[in-house]
Chains A and B, each alone.
Chain A
Amino acid sequence: MPHHDELLILARQMVDRNPGLQVEAELRRAVSTAYYALFHLLIDEATDRLVQIATIRHRVARTFDHTIMKKVCQEYADATAFGVGEYKIKKNGQTIPTALFNIAVTFVALEEARIQADYNLKADVTRAQAAADVGRVEAAFKNWLLVETHHATDDFLSELWCRGMPKRT
């Protein structure tokens, strides 16, 4: 089973076990693990498509940057509804399917939730919140199945990687 699938199952288990008992550390780990499930899904798919030599994919995977991925996703998540089942990215007018839009929205939300869960002990993480965050990633994984072969997805994945590279002037 791919690493990202295992992470998502683990995140769900952490939310569902000990219901009603206060184990906030476990809920925090669940949110963080759910984020990393989505993070690794996208990186896995991106390196599969963009890097032909399988043996160096893991090395390339390490070059993906959380902040840059969030910025790209924010651009996609800020798209406006355009007809049925499509959104238009404001910056370049590109149309993307709703499922890809939803994945981007989820990535932005979970990247922030992960940082809050890992580092902000002042803000508590409740079971409902952790369940919602894990549920968002589960929905994103289902959305992925709808768009993995869509041409806009290739652009999206390449942006996640290339946006962080310096451009020749």
Chain B
Amino acid sequence: MTAIEFTEKFEDMGRYRAVNGYENVTFVTRTRRRYPGRVHFRDGFCVRVEMDGGGDWSYPDQSPLNEIRLLLQFDEDKPLATAVDHGRVLFQQSPEREASKKEFLANFRVARNLFAHPQVDVDGRQDAVALERMLIRSAIWLTPKSVEAFNADQFPELGPDRQFELKSAVNRFQEVADQVPADAPATDVQFRNAAEAFTVMRDILAPYLSIPDEARKVEKALAEVGKEFPTWVINWDYELGSDSDDAAAVWVNVFADNSTAPIPQLGRYASDWTTKIRTSLTVAGIDRWPYVRVRTGDEHKARA
């Protein structure tokens, strides 16, 4: 069954057309592991999600499930992001969705920041080989997500030559990114090839991704704090915005190494960084409240 065939089993409002029954599906985890299972329906609503050898989600009274998000894999299609909302099955992206320039640039902006902020530490005693290993470990920009939604036709203003150059670089990058597993680092050769293509893309796209003066100040203030990050922090990124009270905020994503991060202590570190970042921002004259989000490099690379 393809993703499109699966989506056609549901009405526009997410009710199961066959009303009662179940569908065999394959669940995908963030680390891209796949688990077979079933999704059960009653009266058109999803009432149970069953993963072989894993969880089984249902309410004791078999009432419709709510607030569940799933990634489903069909053949070799891209994983289908699916939400269960009061028993209705909703698809967060249509399989045939058109790529948008805005979305691509948003993805690439994050990748560009990650490309610029590898945490390679350090004490200056690393040799060239060790330094490259650290750069590779930090290269969480090397994921297909970084160029997702790219469509060369949406950049006619570049002119045919630059447009072709961009398209070629994206293709070279994509080819490498598709080969790098979400839960393992790239090889030396993959890293070098991807970095070369990425540098071309970054230079061509620079005019689309200008950095406002305030963001530059924020970045500099964060970089100061970043110097004191422990060695298991492999990268960081930030985003200016407002919080739920509409107050000026900066969202700081700190990426931890999957294998060496002390998970039980992440909370303590997050609080400590919040205080240091707030102080650093204040010194820089920036009145934004910092919100620190910790995630692992693998979690970032596995984002659907």
Chain B binds chain A: yes
The proximity string for B residues 267-286 relative to A, scoring 1 for CB distances below 8 Å and 0 otherwise, is 11111001100110000000
Chain B residue with the shortest CB-CB distance to A67: B245
Contact of B271 among A23, A28, A109, A129 (CB under 8 A): A109
Tell me the bound Cα distance from A78 to B287 in angstroms.
11
Tell me the bound Cα distance from A22 to B69 in angstroms.
8
Contact at A25–B68, with CB atoms within 8 Å? yes
The proximity string for A residues 102-139 relative to B, scoring 1 for CB distances below 8 Å and 0 otherwise, is 10011011001101100001001011110111111111
Chain A residue with the shortest CB-CB distance to B83: A121
Binding site secondary structure of chain B:
mixed
Contact at B267–A21, with CB atoms within 8 Å? no
Binding site secondary structure of chain A:
helix
Contact of A135 among B70, B266, B279 (CB under 8 A): B266
- Quick check: is A93 within 8 A (CB to CB) of the other chain? no
Contact at A128–B266, with CB atoms within 8 Å? yes
Contact of B29 among A22, A67, A80, A109 (CB under 8 A): A22
Cβ–Cβ < 8 Å partners of B124 in chain A: none
Please report B residues at the A interface, Cβ cutoff 8 Å: 27-31, 33, 35, 51, 54-55, 57, 67-71, 83, 243-245, 249, 256, 261, 263-271, 274-275, 278-279, 289, 291-296, 299, 303
**Which A35-63 residues have C-beta < 8 A from chain B?**
none
Contact of B267 among A18, A24, A112, A133 (CB under 8 A): A133
Contact at B54–A18, with CB atoms within 8 Å? yes
Contact at B295–A126, with CB atoms within 8 Å? yes
Tell me the bound Cα distance from A116 to B243 in angstroms.
9
Q: A21-B51, A132-B266, A135-B264 are in contact. List 19 more A-B contacts (CB 8 A).
A: A22-B70, A74-B289, A77-B275, A105-B275, A109-B291, A109-B292, A112-B244, A112-B291, A121-B69, A128-B263, A128-B266, A128-B296, A128-B299, A129-B294, A131-B267, A132-B270, A134-B267, A135-B270, A139-B267
Cβ–Cβ < 8 Å partners of B275 in chain A: 77, 101, 105
Contact of B33 among A20, A101, A106 (CB under 8 A): A20
Chain A residue with the shortest CB-CB distance to B268: A139
Contact of A20 among B28, B31, B256, B293 (CB under 8 A): B31
Contact at A137–B267, with CB atoms within 8 Å? yes
Contact at A22–B263, with CB atoms within 8 Å? no
